[in-house]
Structure 1
């Protein structure tokens, strides 16, 4: 039997002890096994039924009993987005394409959350819109340490090494090419077996959901059944522990006397889940031209403007290229959306050089970008027979908001200082005497 429950956004029910779920009532006068009933709501109570996210937890102690005297602690290079009266931006960065080498794995023992380094932020964590994009590197597991994010839903994208999330609802394990989403307010302990590196997106806006397929119809892209939720499991452990909270853009910590992962049973749809990106069914042009990247959207966080996302999580997996009479890589363009890209494994076809697995790039709102000179030349000469891209997996976090670069990201030795001028190597090929174009030799 599978260790997971399947179905994106479904109302799931799971219990670690028989009959731990109350029969027919969410909050009876007394719960089975002497448990406490606690509701965890990820959306306003009056959100439409289709968008409403909430779960009922039946736990040994309510969260209120896992509370301590919280003190603000140093967040290192982990940042949150702020606007309004909080002062100037951390650093002013010129408008240009940016790219970073992979994050070196840290020396010594580094666990979550200390191993998180933020590249960009946008929006406002307190206003509930926008996001933060970070890279992480961990070399040890959390030990009697727990965390929850009150500000954001968290999307983990492992690139090297597996992650093991012991959550209030149960265990989720993930390897590179899988993603894990932890909703606001869900507590967890993160363990690793080996040095691990990857990406983290904090979503301040509405929870991620599956995009509408529109003219694609009923099938394709990500399928609901491939999203996996944990089976109930619990810890009844009384030992001195530390609970971290990300709240109001700051990191807080308190000593507590027991493990907060004490949920014996739960039901609802506000719960952590994982998805294997290799199960994504890509769509694309079958005759000519190049499809917009939105055709590869796995998850979307909508905004109040129809058709304009707070965040789109987009992937570029193995797929066939069959377009005729076409420039197959992404064309040169300027976009109202801003794009942060990462590479999980393989090679990205539009940037064959200098963009290694674990790296990241940023092409902000209305900043021009496209293939480098080598990719342009290769695509312009290529024999346009059917070609399968294999062994590649890149992703993009696309948002309607301009992304602000952190001081750490701008001053980091990982930043490729020369990358912003890569377009200058694209030479003029204009010839008024060659109306059919000029070859590349």
Structure 2
């Protein structure tokens, strides 16, 4: 048995509570917390922005990758796509699928979460057929056969829960229907489109296990189910079905926007919402040290209100161990309450263990991102 050392204390000039009614003008709040945003935390009030560094040496730094610059001449198989970021529990790939898949694929290493950044396709799986579009999340359980027939080229963010499974977060006091009602989750159908692809022709399945691919050949199409029953399936939800928690008096931490959880990481979704309106409430993400989690943001749509010079299709990576938060322009705009509504859509992945940067990401990195917090003079 163990418990956190806990003795709430206040020293010097402080606010009464976090993220609201700062004791003086012109100060900067910084949260230092454990276990993401769920453990003990302290809040400092600084005279200078905690991101006001003038120089940085070493690998522990904020990083930005412009995935739009990756070659769109991608491999036919998602298992041949190079990693962007990875660790033992979580692997992230970007796949430009430009042609209808001529074989099935199956991931024997873990569940896959597909986020459709661009494009439109017919998805065929063991469980049936579904139409997927831009903005969809699709959870594909481990060892499910699947393939895509394209309506338009597809740009996918693929997040593997290695040796794990995706689940929904506990919603606690707000109840099961908050954030999104489970009734919004779609499952594939054994419909006319699915039945039309039954075939006695030869099909192959490319199975990934321990990051190596085996090919299994059948004298028929293995997607030949006439029905199924149970509570395990491919599921789909679009970000437009997500109704975020918010408070007009308090800036909620990213954990309030959790969409899926797996062993060692969480996936959150930031969608448009009103900005906090209370005069004393912080109106941009707070400066913080997330000292137990690496943070990744994939930018899908809109005006990313806490960042400058970030475009759709980019990824930022903030490893655990340093302070980060809004860029200077965004922080000032928050003080002035210039915007009343956010219009950003972004996917956040927070991992409990260190992420490693893949070669493909290195090729499209912006080395000046670390200095993007410098205030203009």
Verify the 8 A CA contact 2:75 2:81 in the aligned structure 1: no
Give me the whole-angstrom Cα distance separating, in 2, the residues matched to 1:399 and 1:210.
16
Deviation at 1:388, TM superposition (A): 2.1
In 2, Cα distance between the equivalents of 1:354 and 1:135?
Answer: 21
Query: Measured at CA, do residues 366 and 109 of structure 1 come closer, stay the same or move farther in structure 2, by a change above 3 Å?
Result: closer
For the residues of structure 2 that align with 1:135 and 1:355, how far apart are their CA atoms? 18
Q: What are the ranges of 5 or more consecutive residues in structure 2 without an aligned counterpart?
A: 1-57
Equivalent-residue separation in structure 1 for 2:94 and 2:371 (angstroms): 24
Note if 1:122 corresponds to 2:87: yes
**1:110–1:139 CA contact under 8 A, matched in 2:** no
User: How many pairs does the alignment contain?
Assistant: 314
Q: Deviations over 1:217-238 (max 9, x none)?
A: 3541121100011122454312
Q: Does structure 2 conserve the Cα–Cα contact (< 8 Å) formed by 1:241 and 1:256?
A: yes
- The reply on whether 1:278 has 2:244 as its aligned counterpart is no
RMSD of Structure 2 on Structure 1 (CA): 2.2
Answer yes or no: is the 8 Å Cα contact 1:164–1:171 preserved in 2: yes
Give the equivalent residue in structure 2 for 1:415: 365
Superposed structure 1 runs of 4+ greater than 6 Å apart: none
Query: Are the equivalent residues in 2 in contact too, given 1:104–1:137 (CA < 8 A)?
Result: no
TM-score normalized with structure 2 length? 0.77
Secondary structure in 1 matching 2:240: helix
Equivalent of residue 105 in structure 2, options 132, 147, 151: 147
The aligned counterpart of 2:178 is: 220
Give the conservation status (yes or no) of the 8 Å contact 2:110–2:164: no
What do residues 141-162 of structure 1 show as CA deviations (whole Å, max 9, x unaligned)?
112x110000010000011111
TM-score (norm 1): 0.67
> Could you give the per-residue CA deviations for residues 291-340 of structure 1, whole angstroms, max 9, x where no partner exists?
11111111212x4xxxxxx2211111011113422331111111021111
SS at match of 1:221: coil
* Structure 1 residues 224-266: Cα deviation after superposition (integer angstroms, max 9, x where no partner): 1000111224543122333211101222224432211111221
> Are residues 1:389 and 2:345 paired?
no
Match of 2:300 in 1: 344
- Equivalent in the alignment of 1:169: 127
Does residue 299 (structure 1) correspond to residue 251 (structure 2)? The answer is no
Please tell me whether residue 247 in structure 1 is matched to residue 209 in structure 2: yes
CA contact (8 A) 1:115 1:138 kept: no
Partner SS state of residue 163, structure 1 = strand
Map 1:40-55 onto structure 2 (within 5 A).
none
8 Å CA contact 1:283–1:296 kept in 2: the answer is yes
In the alignment, structure 1 segments of 5+ residues that lack a partner are 1-92, 124-129, 304-309, 428-439
Task: Report the alpha carbon displacement of residue 108 of structure 1 after superposing the two structures with TM.
Answer: 5.5
**1:119-149 CA-partner distances (Å, limit 9, x unpaired):** 11112xxxxxx11011111211112x11000
Structure 2 residue 276 is the aligned partner of structure 1 residue 322: yes
